[in-house]
Amino acid sequence: MRMPLSAAIGLFMTALFFAAAILAPLIAPYGMAEIVGQVWEPMSRDHWLGTDNIGRDLLTRMIYGGRTTIFVATAATLLSFSLGSFLGFTAAVAGGWVDQVLSRFVDLMMSIPSLIFALVVLSVMPVTLPVLIAVMGLLDATRVFRLSRAVAVDITVMDYVEAARLRGEGRGWIIFREILPNALSPLVAEMGLRFIFMVLFISTLSFLGLGVQPPLADWGAIVKENREGIVYGIPAALVPAVAIAALAISVNLVADWILNRTASLKGGRGD
């Protein structure tokens, strides 16, 4: 099946962001916390995006910031997906009280807005990267749980699952060998959206000063550091907006394509 142009662009841009994140120390022109010029210098040949509030190279900060943001968002997405889909499948396969307990607990977790819940928890926890990833991943696992349970409930009534049950396969086999392969496509598309949500979530927390701590850079913290410049007409704090929006739209384009592909598969046109 051919890839539409929009998805190809999205995939290319997403790959570019990830490559920049992984190769940050190689491609960044200066050191992450190195002070290389005056405060808020305009764009120039030495500093492509200018300098920040204490004279660090903004392009370097953006590259390292993307590294932190993308790393945290990826780790939290992986955590929320493995946990959420495993529990969701378990609830669908086991049914009965296991399903009831898990589903009602998730309803409860979702009755409090995740940002508020994260703030409540972060008021007593030390704000470190593992804690942030765990809090974000756990809160988001509730949404993955709902989706994967809904998808798996449709699959568990299929004949091949029944056949596996009659063969005497265990619950683990049914979850990983029968349901997971068939539920993968909608989950992967959702994964893109959850990843974007995580990027926005960690940026928001960092902006509020409750996420990534200095001197480590991340896109939300760059906004926070340069916000005073706005009133003097210095747009340094707006640079992360472009990066976040570009990443969000790229990933969305890819996710849309995957979703459309699975929709046409269901239509029975074959591939």
Partner 1 sequence: MTAVHPVVRLLAQRIALGLVLLWAASVLIFVGTEILPGDVAQSILGQAATPQALANLRADMGLDRPPLERYLSWLGGAVRGDLGTALSNGQDIARAMGQRLSNTLFLAFWAAVVAVPLAILLGLVAVRYRGRWPDRLISGVTLATISIPEFLLGYIVIFFLAVEFRLFPSVATIHSGMSLADRLNVIVLPALVLVLTVLGHMMRMTRAAILNVMQSAYIETAELKGLPPFAVIARHAFPNAIAPVVNVVMINLAYLVVGVVVVEVVFVFPGMGQYLVDHVSKRDVPVVQACGLVFATVYIGLNLLADVIAILANPRLRHPK
* Whole-angstrom distance, CA of residue 180 vs CA of residue 117: 30
Residue 83 Cβ, how far from partner 1 at the closest point, in Å? 18
- Asked if residue 202 lies in contact with residue 220, where contact means CB atoms within 8 angstroms, the answer is yes
Residue 34 Cβ, how far from partner 1 at the closest point, in Å? 26
Contact positions vs partner 1 (CB under 8 A) = 107-109, 111-113, 115-117, 119-126, 196, 200, 203-204, 207-210, 220, 223, 227, 230-233, 235, 237-238, 240-241, 244-245, 248-249, 252
Percent helix / strand / coil, the chain, rounded to 5: 75, 0, 25
Q: Residues with Cβ < 8 Å from 193, sequence gap 6 or more? A: 251, 252, 255
Q: Residues with Cβ < 8 Å from 229, sequence gap 6 or more? A: 40, 53, 235, 236, 237
Residue 206 Cβ, how far from partner 1 at the closest point, in Å? 10
| Nearest CB to partner 1, comparing residues 50 and 240 | 240
| Nearest CB to partner 1, comparing residues 155 and 193 | 193
| Nearest CB to partner 1, comparing residues 163 and 245 | 245
| Nearest CB to partner 1, comparing residues 161 and 202 | 202
Residue 122 Cβ, how far from partner 1 at the closest point, in Å? 6
| Nearest CB to partner 1, comparing residues 30 and 224 | 224
Beta bridge mates, 35: 56
| Nearest CB to partner 1, comparing residues 51 and 203 | 203
Residue 158 Cβ, how far from partner 1 at the closest point, in Å? 26
- Asked if residue 144 lies in contact with residue 102, where contact means CB atoms within 8 angstroms, the answer is no
H/E segment holding residue 204 = helix 180-207
- Euclidean distance between the first and the last CA atom of the chain, given in angstroms as a whole number: 7
Residue 223 Cβ, how far from partner 1 at the closest point, in Å? 6
